[in-house]
Chain A
Amino acid sequence: MNVLVLGIGNVLMMDDSVGVRAVEELQGRYHFSDGVELLDGGTSGIELLSHIEGRDYLIIIDALKSGHPPGTIVRADGEDVPARFMTRISPHQLGLSDVLAAATISGRLPANLVLFGIEPKTIELGLGLSDEVRASFDKLLETVVQELIRIGCTAEPAVTPSSGRTLWESQ
């Protein structure tokens, strides 16, 4: 099983960073089975293509505005995932939408796509997360871990967990 867990977002824009923070925390708190890779995609574009291609599973974590109360965790899968990224800040911007499009057109899109989104409260210049998103953060991690277990991976709690939270919670 070849799985990529990809967190994307801008770490300088508060709740937009939740995907990146989730990947950092998962990395610090768990040991996953071989074949599970976690990646901070930041605000990268086409550089992500080579990381995405050839995976059995691609699990994306991102801030997702879908009209729910802030902190709500939502899940999308299959064909709904590329469609989620079609609406961008500016038309044609080379974001994840274009990366997924390029992977699709060249026949290298992973067979299984899952997106975990969390409804943001605040997208402003800043390092922390809003209280609402922070309150759901552990549930988000647990949800991703459960997904990994469901598809046949293992996740053991780290013997000596490390965390980046002190850095981004103290502002």
Chain B
Amino acid sequence: MGAHATHDHIVHFYHLAALDWVDIVSALKADAKAVSNLGQKLSSWGGNSYNEVKASQDRLKTFVGSGQLGVYGSGYWGHPAMKLSPEVNMLAAHHYLQALDYQREINKVVAILGSKTPHIQNVAVGGVANAINLDSPSTLNMERLYYMKTLIDKVGDFVENVLLVDTAAVAAFYAEWTKYGSGVTNYLSVPDMPMDTKGTTFTLPGGYIPDGDVSKFQAIKSYQDPFFRDNVKESIKHSWYDGDWDRHPYEEDTAPKYTDFQDKGKYSWVKSPTFKGKPAQVGPLANVLCMFAAGHEPTKKYATKMLDTISALAGAKVGIAALHSTIGRIGARSIRCAVLYDALKAQWQALVENISKGDVKTFNHPTFPAGEQRGFGFHEAPRGALSHWIVIKDGAIKNYQAVVPSTWNAGPRNSQDAMGPYEASLIGNPVADAEKPLEVLRTVHSFDPCLACAIHMVDKTNNEIVKVKAV
């Protein structure tokens, strides 16, 4: 989980969101010497030497010069909302290329524990299907464990001294974006990385903050906590499902009924979740604010480092209130990445210590008593709070509903017609060029919309220059 989130957050910033803020074409004009100096001033990272920056810039020049920039079909080069200097653009582009290497390393940890990637295969009801035997070459053994440690160690410097610093720099140079995109400021996150089998103590706290007021934080304390269990509902008033109701997940059904787009009626496949009857934002920002409110020391440390870096670069004191924004969501993702990375290191250590004590159990056989059973489980996923709800009757599944992070954020209006986080966050966003709504992308991308539900069909109709021939 730690490795997966670290990977996911690095990729989100450099390879999904960064090109909304960084102009690669402008980067070609940068003086490589000045870029290297800037990089060394901002961070202790060893990968900002003149030679390395120059090599990245040469590669970029070749790429752009050969007319291949078109592969970034929707890049808004030269857009009036692009504000970074050529040097800052080039530094970010240099780290974009380096990030390709680091994401690969940390994803190998996911592959080792998950048996393969993509599509990990080790998760089972009751535990994980990872055999541990230090004497066997085909299970999780010391050689594998230390290979994981090597991979984990490689990435730490990059997370703290490149990702965290770069996102702080983007936030400082685009300081006006701390004023846009706050949207829904009820924040929900769940505790994660349990330290006992019952799920009553957690490495990472979670809970609920209403109205953006961290002093009103209320913790979710266990996997059984009624505060979470009793306060989640979903509405389908504006969703393409049969009926019009507000229900608890145990009582829901998911019966598709498409009606075409109705401005006042049903217009989305996404349901509309609420917590305590109100929309809630989920994701790294919600998680960081809740962990901060809970007094979680690593979160306070990295949040302070981020805010201090922004303040120094912007030349003005920036406080935690600036995080309620589009750019705040991006900064919070880096803070969370650094927190998760430290937790990952601690988890590796705890695993090795347990194994050395002879504890190699990875699975508790589940039993399902007769009659009707209800249960829920949650996880703080890279895009936010994820919960699954199940009703089992006489050993068979009677109802199963998943309330997933992008549903919380992307949901249409709820039964009270209150806006969800995406919609609310776009109110007041500036748009310099309506034909190229880069600013809208900035805000929507800051939530890290999920991809797994997408359709990957390639469409030739918008691109006549490409030839295919029937065989």
Contact = CB atoms under 8 A, between A and B. Distances in A.
Given A45-B451, A93-B451, A101-B71, A64 B457 contact: yes
Interface in B432-467: 441, 445, 449, 451-463, 465-467
Interface string A108-134: 000000010100100101000000000
A87 B467 CA distance: 15
Contact of B451 (A40, A67, A82, A94): A94
What's the dominant secondary structure at chain A's contact region? mixed
A104 B62 CA distance: 11
Contacts of B60: 105
B468 A16 contact: no
Interface string A14-47: 0010000000000000000000000011111111
A109 B60 CA distance: 15
B107 A47 contact: yes
Using C-beta atoms within 8 Å of the partner chain, give the interface range for chain B: 35 or more
Given A84-B460, A86-B463, A106-B97, A123 B469 contact: no
Residue in B11, B451, B452, B458 with the greatest tally of chain A CB atoms within 10 Å: B458
Contacts of B445: 92
Given A93-B451, A102-B100, A117 B107 contact: no
Interface string B84-124: 00000000000001001001100100000000011100000
B469 A74 contact: yes
A107 interface: yes
B370 interface: no
A50 interface: yes
A8 B456 contact: yes
Interface string A39-65: 011111111111000000000001111
Contact of B104 (A10, A50, A84, A105): A50
Interface stretch (B14-22, B353-361, B379-387): B14-22
Interface of A: 8-10, 13, 16, 40-50, 62-68, 72-76, 80, 82-98, 100-102, 104-107, 115, 117, 120, 123, 125, 143
19 contacts: A40-B119, A41-B118, A47-B107, A47-B118, A50-B107, A63-B456, A65-B459, A74-B469, A74-B471, A84-B458, A85-B458, A87-B461, A91-B74, A91-B441, A92-B20, A98-B16, A100-B71, A104-B63, A143-B471
Interface of B: 11, 15-16, 19-20, 59-60, 63, 68, 70-74, 97, 100, 103-104, 107, 117-119, 256, 441, 445, 449, 451-463, 465-471
Task: Pick the 9 closest A-B CB pairs, nearest first.
Answer: A86-B73, A44-B118, A91-B74, A101-B71, A66-B460, A74-B468, A63-B457, A47-B118, A87-B459
